[in-house]
Amino acid sequence: AVLYELVGGPESLKQKRSGEAPEGGGNLAWVGMFQQWLKTKLGLSFQLQEVDYEAANFVHADMDVEGFLKTQEEKKENFLGLWFKAAKVQAELAADQPAGKRQPGMAQILEWMMSDDSSDELKIVLGREFDSVENLIAGIEGGGGTVIIGERNRVVIEVLKKEMTKGKKRLAVFYGAAHLPDLAERLEVAGFRSDAVEWETAWDVPTTEKKEVEPPDRSVR
């Protein structure tokens, strides 16, 4: 079974593919708009148009729209609040770095994304910052966690356990990278352990020199 993320489930998938306004209106509309914007700026494909979510072994493992919005309301969580929290955490992380190695701020990253540089140039710029993402997400998740990551990861573990009680032994969790540090911790608490690491190419960036680049030597989250 492949446990996949998508707030709302199959019905939301149909709405997004057809271009309909998502259930929940403006509370969720920004997510789709941001995803489409990133796809265009970085010259990538949109996963909802590339992946067969209707495959027989795909299992929805995410919150429904009603539960997601209710939990966000309880935690007073919104896009603007998350953005400011991320900016604050990034500033704190940057302050601990030597002056010559400080990470760019959220405003700098946004400036890069708004530039007219080619998608390959933007990929290079962003790719250099990926090693700081785990610390950034850990900071954002501090103080009770977020709905957009922590609460949804809790649902994943619940669904995983249900699928295991059905006798399934080969399971995959198909979630975005931001979820993985917290999800890895939850899996360890549930009794799982890392047995192997395998790297896959997410994107290619043309270079003038052909070099073999070793991936960083750290556990996959």
What does the pLDDT look like over 87-139, one tens digit per residue?
776 676 666 666 555 555 555 666 666 677 677 777 777 777 676 666 667 67
Considering only 13-17, 63-67, 72-76, 197-201, which range has the smallest mean pLDDT? 13-17
How high is the pLDDT of residue 155? 95
pLDDT at 213 over 80: no
Strands 58-60 and 172-174: unpaired
* DSSP assigned state of 87: H
Calculate mean pLDDT across residues 139-160: 83
Higher pLDDT, 126 or 162: 162
pLDDT in tens, 81-94: 666 677 776 676 66
Of the candidates 76, 95, 182, the residue with the CA atom closest to the CA atom of residue 138? 182
The letter for the amino acid at 141 is E
Gyration radius (Cα) of the chain, Å: 19
Instruction: For residue 174, give both structure tokens.
Output: 């198909």
- Separation of alpha carbons 221 and 218, rounded Å: 9
Q: Do residues 136 and 93 touch, judged by C-beta distance below 8 A?
A: yes
pLDDT at 29 over 90: no
Higher pLDDT, 29 or 165: 165
Of the candidates 186, 175, 179, the residue with the CA atom closest to the CA atom of residue 149? 179
Instruction: For residue 51, give both structure tokens.
Output: 């992946």
How high is the pLDDT of residue 220? 47
Higher pLDDT, 107 or 184: 184
Q: What is the pTM of this model?
A: 0.70
Calculate mean pLDDT across residues 25-46: 73
